[in-house]
Amino acid sequence: MTLLGLTLTQLALVMGLSGAAVTVLYILKLRRRRVRVPFSRLWDRVLKEKESTSLFRRLKRLLSLLLQLLFLLLLTAALGDPRLSTEVLDGRHIILLLDTSASMKATDASGGVTRLAAAVEQSRRIVRGMNGADSLMLVRMDTQITPLSAFYRDEKALLKLLDDVRATDTHADLLRALKFCGDALRGRKNPLLILVGDGAYPEHQLAMVQLRGGASPPPPAGRSKSGKARPAAHDLARVDLRGIAVRYVPVGRSRDNIGIVAFNARRYVRNKLSFEVFLEVVNYRKGPAEADLQLYSDGQLIDVQRLKLKGEQTARYTCDPDEGERKRKAWCDLAATGELLEARLAPPGARGSKPGALDAFGLDDRAYALLPRRKKQRVLLVTEGNLFLEGALLLEPNLELVKTRPTAYTEALARRVDAIIFDGNYPSSPVPRDALVLNPPPTGGPFKVTGRIATPMITDQQRKHPVMRWVTLKDVNISNSASFAPEAGVRVLASSFKHPVMVARRVGNLKSVAFGFDLTRSDLPLRVAFPILILNTLDWFAGDSEGLVTSYRTGDTWDINLGTGSQLPVTVTLPDGGTVRSPVHDGRALVHGMLAGIYRLDQGQTRIQLAANLADPDESRIQPRGSLVLDHTTLQPPTGFGISLQREIWIYLLLAAVLLTLLEWTTYNRRVTV
Amino acid sequence: MAASVHSRSTAANRQQSELFDEAFLKKLEYLYIVSKKVFAGRGRAERRTRKVGSGIEFADYRDYVPGDDFRYLDWNIYSRMDKLLLRLFEEEEDLHIYLLLDASDSMQMGTPPKLHYAMQVTAALCYVGLANLDRVSIVTFADGLKERLPPARGKGRIFKVFDFLRGVAPGGRTQMAASLRAFVHQNKRRGLAVLISDFYDPEGYEDAINMLRYNRFEPFAIQVVDPAEMQPQLKGDLQLIDCETGEMREITVSPALLRAYIREHERYCEELAEFCTTKQVALFRAETGIPFDELVLKIFRRGGFLR
C-alpha cells in the first residue's frame, strides 16, 4: 500500500488529535431531560433485570466509541489517498487516439448515430475501465493532431473532455498522429496506444507503420554517391511504434456513399458573364447508384442532371477537350447571376433534400464554389492617339474606356477609374491606380530607366507571370526600347540579352507594368499576342487569373490575398457562424479551414468570401475496417478495461465512513449502542 | 385572593354538578353497594342485620312470651298446631361504608390527575351509599391518615361530601400499611372499606389490605391507573425523579427498555390482582382514560360491586 496524499506521520497526528477530541467529547456528561414518574420502583425493577447484562451494556457503550473512532480512522485514511502498491507500479500509459476526421460524421453506427458518437461512447467505456494508476492522454486526430489532455488519471476530467469532442470536415492524418503518439509514449512504462476510429485510412499510410522488429533502425533503402548508406525518403517517413502495444476499436459498418470529390468553377476570361464548372462525383458503393446532381446559384436551382454510376465509378464534369467527348460530361457556358454555386447530390427525383438523404455520409453530398464578382473595369487611356491600343481595348466588352490627353490628365480623373494606361507619357504626381506605362519617359516614370537599346530582341520571357500567359513575343521587331533597372520588387517580364524591356511591379496594393518601347515603332500591335497582352495586364490589375481558385479544400492552410495591402488582422466568419481573427502579412491572410462551407473574411470595408469543400476522395471512401492490419499484424481490441473497482480507494473509505455513520445513527436512535 | 378562591370554588361546584347531573344521580339512586358480610348497624336502614326486628323479610319463629306484639303471631300455625309462635323478621339496619382515598403525591400524576378521577369515583360511591341510607365516611391518607369526613347518612349530605373532597390537600408519600393501621384502630365499627389508590407503595400494599381483612372490614380495592403510566411515551437519555421519594435515576430509554417497563407494570398490576383474588378481595381497575360514568354504571355493576 502506498499513500499518495498525506504522509503516515501527518495521518497519525490527525488521527491522534481527532481521536482525543472524540474521546473527550464522549466522556463529557450529557445533560439529561428530567421526568417525574409516580413510582420509580417499577423502573428499578426493570433496570435491575438489565443490571445482569451490565457488562454487555458497558461493552455496547464502548462499541459506540469504537464506531466513532473507526469513522475517524476511515476519514483519516481517506486523506492519505492510499493505493495498492502493485497499481502504482504497474499503471499503464495510454494514449486514446480518437479519429475526428470527416468520415466520422457518417451516420452508419448502430442506432443511427454518427461514427464519432459511437467512438466517443467506446472511449468512455475505456476511460471508465481504467484501473489502478493507469494514466491516459486523449488525442484528437483529423488533419491536425490535437492532444486534449496530458496523461490524466482523473476519469471525470477525461469524460468531460470526451463530451466536447466534435468531428471536423477534414481528412485524417494517421501517420502524423501515430508519430505523435509514438513520441509521446516512447520511454514510458507500459505504453499502450488505442486507436478508436473507422479505419478508413489510405493504404499507403498504413504501410508506413512499423510495429515489430529489433531495436535497430530499418535497413537503408539506397546508397549515396559516396557509397555510404542513406535512408530513402520512404524510410524517413516510417512511423516507429516498436515496443508500444497498439489496439484498435472499430466503429462504423457501411460503405454506402456517393460523394462530390472535386468542385470548382471559373468565369471565362473573355466572357465573364459565363462560367464553367469542374466537378467529380464518385460512387463508392459496390453496386450501381443513381442520383440527381443539382446545381444551384445563390440558392436557385439552375440545372439538374441524373447520374447513373456503376460500382466504384467516377463521373467527371469538365470542359477540357482532352478528356474525350465520350468520357466527359460537361457543364460549360453556364450563365447565372449569382456568385455562390452549390452542387448537391440528392436521391433521384428529390428536391431540397437534406444532406445525408442519399447515403450515410452527407458531408460530400454538397460542394460550394464562388465565382469572381462580375463588374465592368473602367480604364483611363492617356494618349495623344493610338488606334492599335484603342482597337485592342475595344475587344473587351467588360471594359469601360475613358480617353484623355496627357495635358487633361488629373489625379481626380484617375481616382474615378480602376486602371490607367499611359501611352508615351507619365504624370509627375503620384498615380493612385494600377497603371500600364507604354514607352515611359527616361525620368519620372514608375520604373528606373538605365538607357535605351536599339532594335532589341526578346530573348527571355517570364511565362509564369499572369501578364504573359498565352503570349509569345518571339521575333517581335522593336525599333528601340528603354532598358529598365532590375530593382528589388521588379519582375522582369521580357528582356533582351539581360536588359529588361518589359517589367512589372507590385507595391502594396498598386500594380504597375511598363513596356519600354513605343507600340507604333514595333510590330507587336500586329501580332495576335498584342491584345492578349493588354487584356492580361488589365486582368492582372483586376485580380483575375486563370489560376483563380474559387473553392478551397478543408484541412489545408489557405493563403488568401486580400488585395488591400492593409496589415490589419482579418475577421474570419466560419460556416457554423463562429468567428476567428487571422493575422495578415503582406496583404495575405492565412486561414486554416476545418469546416466545409462558405467563409467570410472581413477587413475594414473589404469583404471576401471563400468556399471550402472536403474534396478528398480518400476521406469520402468511408468504408470502415473491422480489423486493422499494421506491419502484418492485426490489431487486437483493448483488454484490461473492465468496469470494475474504482481506482481511488479513498472513495470507498468515504463510502464506508458514510455507512458507518448511518449504522451509528441507527443504533443510537434505537438505543442499541447506548 | 379571596375572590379568586371563591371563583375557583364556584367553578369546582359547577364542575361537580356537571359530573353528577340529574340523570346520573337518578341512575345512582337505583344502585347500592353490595356487602357480602352482615354488619351490625345502629339505626334502622335498608341493610339486613343479624338482629330480628320489624323488617319485612321473614327470619324465624320463636315461642310466644307474654308481652310480645300480637301482630307477629302466626295464627295459621296456631289453628293447625295449637301453638303460639311468633314470626321473627330480619331487621334492616344501616351499613358503615368507609371510602379510603389515597391522596399521596403519586395520585397527582397523570392527565387528568388520578386523584381527580379517584375523587369522582369516591363522590359517586358516596352518593350511592347516602341514597341507601348507609353511613358513609371518607378518609384520606398518604403517609398517615389525613382528612376525615365523619359518617353521614342521607342524600342531602352529598354536598357536604363535595365540600370535603374539594378541601382534600394532596401530598406526601404513600404508606398504606401505617395509614390503615391507624384507620382500623380509630374505627371500631366495622363495615365496607373501599380502598381507592394507585397502590404505588414502596413498602407494599399487602399489609394494608390484610390489616383491613384481619380487623373484619370487608375491603374493596379500586386501582386508579393512568394510561400514560401503563405505556409511557419516553425516549432518550432521561433523569427519572420519583414524585414521592425524590429519588433520581439516570436512564436511557430504548424501545427494549420501554417494552420491559410496560411488561413490568403489567406484572405489578397482575400481582395486585392475584393477591386480591387470593384474599377474596374485590379489585377493580379504574383507568382514567375510561369515562367516569361508564366505570360506575357498568364496570362496578358487572363486577358485582354495585347492584
Per-position DSSP letters for A516-540, written without gaps between them: -B-GGGBSGGGSTHHHHHHHHHHHH
Where on the phi/psi map is residue B193: left (φ > 0), alpha (ψ -120 to 50), or beta? beta
Average pLDDT over residues A491-501: 93
Residues in chain A within 8 Å Cβ distance of B261: 42-43, 46
Interface with B, mutate which of A39, A50, A64 (most B CBs under 10 A): A39
A224, pLDDT greater than 60: no
Interface with B, mutate which of A29, A30, A36, A672 (most B CBs under 10 A): A36
pLDDT, residue A479, reads 92
What is the spatial distance between Cα A450 and Cα A499, in angstroms, rounded to a whole number?
9
A56, pLDDT greater than 80: no
Does the beta-carbon distance from A43 to B234 stay under 8 Å? no
Residues in chain B within 8 Å Cβ distance of A42: 261, 264-265, 268
Query: Picking from A36-45, A213-222, A231-240, which range would have the lowest pLDDT averaged per residue?
Result: A213-222
| B217 φ/ψ angles, rounded to the nearest 5 degrees | -85, 155
Interface with A, mutate which of B111, B244, B262, B288 (most A CBs under 10 A): B244
CB B153 within 8 Å of CB B94: yes
Distance from CA of A23 to the nearest CA of B (A): 19
Q: Can you give the C-alpha Rg of chain A in angstroms?
A: 39
Does the beta-carbon distance from B261 to A671 stay under 8 Å? no
Beta bridge partners of A307: A291
A636: its cell numbers: 487486437
What is the spatial distance between Cα B108 and Cα B102, in angstroms, rounded to a whole number?
10
pTM for the structure as a whole: 0.50
Of A32, A33, A38, the CB nearest to B109: A38
Between A223 and A68, the more confident residue is A68
- CA nearest neighbour of A43 among B266, B251, B27: B251
B239-284 pLDDT, tens digit each:
899 999 998 888 888 888 889 999 999 999 999 999 999 999 989 8
Q: How far is CA B255 from CA A515, A669, B230, in A?
A: 115, 9, 15
Q: Which residues 6+ apart lie within 8 Å of A575 measured at CB?
A: A595, A596, A597, A598, A599, A612
Interface with B, mutate which of A28, A46, A60, A61 (most B CBs under 10 A): A46
A49 close to B (CB below 8 A): yes
Residue type, A587: G
A29 close to B (CB below 8 A): no
User: B263 to chain A: nearest residue by CA?
Assistant: A46
Distance from CA of B213 to the nearest CA of A (A): 26
Residues in chain A within 8 Å Cβ distance of B223: none
A322, pLDDT greater than 50: yes
Provide the percentage of residues in chain A whose pLDDT is more than 70: 86
Q: Residues A181-189: contacts with CB within 8 Å, 24+ apart?
A: A181/A95, A181/A97, A181/A139, A181/A241, A181/A244, A182/A239, A182/A240, A182/A241, A182/A244, A184/A95, A184/A137, A184/A139, A184/A147, A185/A93, A185/A95, A185/A244, A186/A243, A186/A244, A188/A93, A189/A91, A189/A92, A189/A93
What is the spatial distance between Cα A399 and Cα A412, in angstroms, rounded to a whole number?
20
Where on the phi/psi map is residue A587: left (φ > 0), alpha (ψ -120 to 50), or beta? left
What is the spatial distance between Cα B33 and Cα B35, in angstroms, rounded to a whole number?
6
Of B202, B234, B252, the CB nearest to A674: B252
A570, pLDDT greater than 60: yes
Residues in chain B within 8 Å Cβ distance of A34: 238-239, 241
| Other CB atoms within 10 Å distance of the CB of residue A202 | 16
DSSP run (H or E) holding A78: helix A54-79
Average pLDDT over residues B298-306: 69
B304, pLDDT greater than 70: no
CB B180 within 8 Å of CB B155: no
- Would you call B78 helix, strand, or coil by DSSP? helix
Of A38, A43, A45, the CB nearest to B251: A43
Strands (E), B94-217: 96-102, 135-141, 145-152, 192-197
A35 close to B (CB below 8 A): yes
Of A30, A35, A672, the CB nearest to B240: A35
For every residue of A615-668, DSSP letters joined together read --HHHH-----SS-EETTEEPBPP-S--S-S-S-HHHHHHHHHHHHHHHHHHHH
Residues in chain B within 8 Å Cβ distance of A36: 109, 240-243
Count of helix runs (H) and strand runs (E) in chain B: 11, 11
Residues in chain A within 8 Å Cβ distance of B256: 671
Residues in chain A within 8 Å Cβ distance of B200: 38-39, 41
Q: Residues B52, B53, B56, B62: what is their CA dihedral angle, to the nearest 10 degrees?
A: 60
B29-60 pLDDT, tens digit each:
666 565 555 454 544 444 444 445 555 667 68
| Other CB atoms within 10 Å distance of the CB of residue B58 | 12
Average pLDDT over residues A174-187: 91
CB A101 within 8 Å of CB A167: yes
What is the spatial distance between Cα B149 and Cα A440, in angstroms, rounded to a whole number?
153
pLDDT grade for A16, boundaries at 50, 70 and 90: very high
B178, pLDDT greater than 90: yes
CB A163 within 8 Å of CB A148: no
Check residue A288 and report its DSSP letter. -
Q: Residues B49, B52, B57, B63: what is their CA dihedral angle, to the nearest 10 degrees?
A: 160
pLDDT grade for A673, boundaries at 50, 70 and 90: low
Of B105, B256, B261, the CB nearest to A42: B261
Place of cell 468512455: A124
Do β-strands A274-283 and A334-335 pair in parallel, antiparallel, or remain unpaired? antiparallel
Alpha carbon B155 to chain centroid, angstroms: 17
Of B105, B256, B261, the CB nearest to A43: B261
CB B140 within 8 Å of CB B147: yes
Residues in chain B within 8 Å Cβ distance of A44: 249
A362-418 pLDDT, tens digit each:
889 999 998 877 667 889 999 998 898 988 888 777 788 999 999 999 999 999 998
Residues in chain A within 8 Å Cβ distance of B110: 38
Query: Picking from A535-539, A591-595, B20-24, B112-116, which range would have the lowest pLDDT averaged per residue?
Result: B20-24
CB A599 within 8 Å of CB A570: no
- CB hemisphere CA count around A64 (13 angstroms): 20
Does the beta-carbon distance from A42 to B242 stay under 8 Å? no
pLDDT, residue A318, reads 80
What is the spatial distance between Cα A237 and Cα A541, in angstroms, rounded to a whole number?
43
Interface of B with A (CB under 8 A): 105-106, 109-110, 198, 200, 202, 226, 229, 232, 234, 236-245, 247, 249-257, 260-261, 264-265, 268
A504-526 pLDDT, tens digit each:
998 877 899 999 999 999 999 99
pLDDT grade for A482, boundaries at 50, 70 and 90: very high
Does the beta-carbon distance from B240 to A41 stay under 8 Å? no
CB A503 within 8 Å of CB A492: yes
What is the spatial distance between Cα A263 and Cα A218, in angstroms, rounded to a whole number?
41
User: A673 to chain B: nearest residue by CA?
Assistant: B254
Place of cell 476530467: A157
Of B241, B265, B268, the CB nearest to A36: B241
Interface with A, mutate which of B174, B200, B245 (most A CBs under 10 A): B200
Query: Picking from A124-138, A265-279, A378-392, B161-175, which range would have the lowest pLDDT averaged per residue?
Result: A265-279
Interface with A, mutate which of B176, B237, B266 (most A CBs under 10 A): B237
Distance from CA of B44 to the nearest CA of A (A): 44
A28 close to B (CB below 8 A): no
Do β-strands A419-423 and B192-197 pair in parallel, antiparallel, or remain unpaired? unpaired
Please count the residues of chain B. Answer: 307
A17 close to B (CB below 8 A): no
A185-221 pLDDT, tens digit each:
988 888 999 999 998 888 888 888 888 765 444 444 4
Distance from CA of B251 to the nearest CA of A (A): 9
pLDDT grade for A639, boundaries at 50, 70 and 90: confident
Does the beta-carbon distance from B106 to A30 stay under 8 Å? no
Do β-strands A510-515 and A551-553 pair in parallel, antiparallel, or remain unpaired? unpaired
